[in-house]
A and B are shown apart, each in its own frame.
Chain A
Amino acid sequence: MNRLKSGEVNLGTSIMAVQFDKGVVIGADSRTTTGSYIANRVTDKLTHVHDRIYCCRSGSAADTQAVADIVHNYLQLYTQIHGAHPPVSSAAGMFQDICYDNKDALSAGIIVAGWDKEVGPSVYNIPLGGGLFRQPWAIGGSGSTYVYGYCDATYQDGWGRDETVEFVKNTLSLAMARDGSSGGVIRMCVITEDGVERLFVPGDKLPKFWEGREVLSGPVKKSVEPAAMAIE
């Protein structure tokens, strides 16, 4: 089943997180693949590591689940020890430590996003090597390659909640339409000071874009009846 063609890496996912004035919107598709078999078509890739800190997981499902579980545990300890909610930067730092120190063994692309009292909203991208990159918006997973252009052309600073949700929904929909390793439903979380709101877009209600004819050769013609030869 795991017949990866040369160059095809199993980073099957489209994930993203975008910061806005009051919080962050994170989103992901719901497809988990083993090769080209869809092992789970309704996956939840938005993982709670703290009440106001979530991570989006891409890459190996096993690796990212293991890492997220460890960070979840560390953050529970942090909360007990410090008596306060951890900043998003600390959570991101924990992810980075694990991903960097085990870079040879892990296949994990993680986006950490959330809200804290000190800084407000923030988004951190931790790609394969274990580097840490804070960005106003971050995309990841195999599907992200198809939407860099759309995101670069569309993103604006200063958006509110609704525009940001629209941006995430459209971006993921475009990525899911082209990437075979992404698909299913769109799951989103809006994380603000007041709480976490879960949003769900089912697979048959995704925003649609251009679906028209791409192949220039026309439709199948019925076979031409031979015209009788004119005989004088």
Chain B
Amino acid sequence: MDHFPTNWGRPRNDAFDAYATYPIHQRPYNGPKDSFADGVQRTQQPIVTGTSVLAIKYKDGVMMAADNLASYGSLARFKDVQRLHQVGNYTVIGAGGDMSDFQYIQYILEELSIDEISAQDGHELGPVEIHEYMSQLMYARRSKMDPLWNSLLIGGFKDGKRFLSYVDLLGTTYSASTLATGYGAFIAQPLLRKAVEGREDVITEEEARKILEDSLRVLFYRDARSLNKFQIAAISSAGVSISDSMQLDTAWSFAENIRGYGAQTQ
């Protein structure tokens, strides 16, 4: 039963969104109008989007991975996009969701870094501060019904401590030694947990890379909005290092002899 009168008689699809929650609903307003404010546009649905971001803690720090694709619906529109962004010397932020909102977030964080540098107070922004700032920002925007339509992973290494947390368009936050957004949360997270949980202090950089690559491969096989071109960022005591774009080996030869969908043999 739909309790919202403004939805009655309006288009909705019972299959996936019975309460017409998406795009975001706005109640009709018949009071005084502000022509300037009327021209202001707000993100109500993501347009150019990035898919999963994966991250794990390992022995020396935190590693994060994301592919290089920004999709326009089902169109693989921009195939050379960097979805992992360095903030200061200790943090990497990885984003899925709307890419224009992510570019705005990069701009905001750049401004924040500049302010911090010019304050010259002996402090530097680390992952803990960046995450706290982002969670405040994301929740504030959601409360204004004007979200930044992203799911973000923030990973870093500062003062000998590893940090890895999640924040999204709703302002939800959580932290674990393995995190994934988008399809990764369904497909990669079980693989990451199996490989990492309990062994965070043992996994070497090489093994961490392999764990992420194996998950990225499964995502490339199963996520129709992914690309076989990705980057991995490693943050450790040596600082931040975002790799060049790489490609994964994939297995297809077993498919050569498959015929039909049922009884067909030819």
- A residues with a Cβ closer than 8 A to B are 2-8, 12, 30-31, 33, 35-38, 41-44, 47-48, 51, 61, 65, 69, 142, 146, 177-181, 183-185, 196, 200, 202-204, 211-215, 219-220, 222-223, 226
Contacts and interface: CB of A to CB of B under 8 A. Distances in A.
Contacts of B255: 30, 42, 184-185, 200, 202
A223 B76 contact: no
Contacts, number: 114
B89 interface: yes
B11 to A, nearest CB: 9
Contacts of A202: 252-253, 255-256
Contacts of A30: 255
Residue among B15, B77, B229, B261 with most chain A CB within 10 A = B261
A31 B256 CA distance: 14
A12 B262 contact: no
27 contacts: A12-B74, A12-B224, A31-B224, A36-B225, A37-B222, A38-B221, A38-B223, A41-B221, A42-B252, A42-B255, A44-B258, A44-B260, A44-B261, A61-B261, A65-B261, A142-B74, A146-B75, A177-B76, A179-B76, A180-B225, A181-B224, A202-B253, A202-B255, A211-B229, A215-B80, A215-B82, A220-B242
B155 interface: no
A186 to B, nearest CB: 10
B71 interface: yes
Interface residues of B, number: 47
B266 interface: yes
Contacts of A220: 82, 84-86, 242
Contact of A37 (B76, B224, B240): B224
A60 to B, nearest CB: 13
A43 B261 contact: yes
Contacts of B256: 200, 202
Interface of B: 15-17, 23, 45, 71, 73-82, 84-89, 113, 117, 183, 221-225, 229, 240, 242, 249-250, 252-256, 258-262, 264, 266
Nearest to B219: A38
A180 B75 contact: yes
Given A12-B224, A185-B255, 6 more contacts: A6-B23, A42-B254, A44-B258, A47-B264, A204-B249, A223-B86
Contacts of B85: 220
A58 B89 CA distance: 50
B14 to A, nearest CB: 11
A30 B252 CA distance: 11
B60 to A, nearest CB: 19
A41 B75 CA distance: 18
Closest 6 CB pairs of A and B: A202-B252, A42-B255, A180-B74, A203-B252, A36-B224, A200-B256
Nearest to A196: B266
A220 to B, nearest CB: 6
A2 to B, nearest CB: 5
A226 B16 contact: no
